[in-house]
Amino acid sequence: MAQVRAADAAAMFRACADPTRLRLLALLHDEGEICVGDLVAVLGLPQTTVSRHLAYLRRSGLALVRRDGLWKHYSLAPAAHPFHGAVIECLDRVRDAIGDLARDRRTFRGLAKCCPRPVVTARGRKR
């Protein structure tokens, strides 16, 4: 396994140590790209709180943001190194054992989405 700086590993562990950020990571892992409004609706938290946690995930290298007009869409960042991949794999293994994460997934799938999700064509382009 390639070496990773202890500070980078600690930042990823801190990001996963908060219940709200853990819920956000699980949703992004399961559902792909999600706009902030939909994350707010699922978590039942103020938009400023959700945005602050998403910024933390971005800074730790676990999430990416894409701006589309007034909307911000977040997704899970692809693994930048083997340690990053191991963190995501760990999330994948434990998410069904954590009740809040399963409930969030059900809530998201039943939600009337506030912004359209991009449609990926056969050529891989978003429209």
Q: Residue 57 sits in a domain of what CATH number?
A: 1.10.10.10
* Mean of pLDDT values over 29-33: 91
In a domain, 123, yes or no: no
User: Six-digit token pair at 71?
Assistant: 């909307």
- Position 121 confidence tier, pLDDT thresholds 50, 70, 90: very low
pLDDT tens track for 56-80: 999 999 999 999 888 899 999 999 8
Provide the domain count of the chain. Answer: 1
Q: Could you tell me which residue, 120 or 73, shows the higher pLDDT?
A: 73
- Within 13 A of 50's CA, how many CA atoms are on the CB side? 21
In a domain, 43, yes or no: yes
In a domain, 53, yes or no: yes
In a domain, 97, yes or no: yes
In a domain, 127, yes or no: no
The answer to whether residue 53 scores a pLDDT higher than 80 is: yes
The range of the structural domain enclosing residue 23 comes to 6-109
In a domain, 49, yes or no: yes
User: Six-digit token pair at 112?
Assistant: 């009337």
- Position 2 confidence tier, pLDDT thresholds 50, 70, 90: low
What global pTM score does this model have? 0.84
Share of the chain above pLDDT 90, in %: 54
Give the pLDDT of residue 126.
Answer: 52
Give the pLDDT of residue 73.
Answer: 93
In a domain, 122, yes or no: no
In a domain, 121, yes or no: no
71 phi/psi in degrees, rounded to 5: -90, 145
Of the candidates 57, 46, 65, 64, which has an alpha carbon nearest to the alpha carbon of residue 22?
A: 57
Q: Could you tell me which residue, 32 or 121, shows the higher pLDDT?
A: 32
